Structure 1
Amino acid sequence: MLQPMSSKELEYIIDSISNEDLLMKQCAVAATSTSNQALVNIYQQAISQHQQHIETLIHTIQQHQQLAPSQPQG
Structure 2
Amino acid sequence: MQMMHHLPLSGKELNYISDSLSNEDLLIKQCVAVAASSSNPTVQQICSTMLKAHQAHYQTLAQSLQHHQSLAPTQLQ
Fold-level similarity (TM above 0.5): yes
The structure 1 segments of at least 4 consecutive aligned residues displaced by more than 4 Å after TM superposition are: none
Match of 2:56 in 1: 52
Aligned-CA RMSD value: 0.9
Normalising by the residue count of structure 2, what TM-score does the alignment of the two structures yield? 0.88
* Superposed counterparts of 1:1-74, under 5 Å: 1-73=5-77
Partner SS state of residue 38, structure 2: coil
Q: Number of matched residues?
A: 73
State the alpha-carbon separation in 1 of the partners of residues 71 and 36 from structure 2.
42
Q: Which amino acid aligns with 2:8?
A: P
Gaps in structure 1 of 5+ consecutive residues: none
Equivalent residue letter for 1:54: Y
Give the letter for the 1:63 counterpart.
Answer: H
Q: Which sections of structure 2, spanning at least 5 residues, go unmatched?
A: none
TM-score (norm 1): 0.92
